[in-house]
Amino acid sequence: MVDGFDFREFVARQQWVYAKTYAKRSPHQYIVRGKINGTDEEFVAAAEYIKKHGFTVRLFRTNYTCLQMDKSFYWSMNDGDGKLLIINRNDLNDYDVVLYVKDKQWQ
Average pLDDT of each block of 10 consecutive residues along the chain (107 residues)?
A: 83 94 77 96 95 84 87 88 90 65 49
Closest CA to 30 of 74, 80, 92, 62: 74
Per-residue pLDDT, 107: 47
Sign of torsion, CA 35 39 45 46? Answer: negative
Say which residues have a Cβ less than 8 Å from residue 95's Cβ, sequence separation at least 6: 73
Looking at residue 30, its pLDDT comes to 95
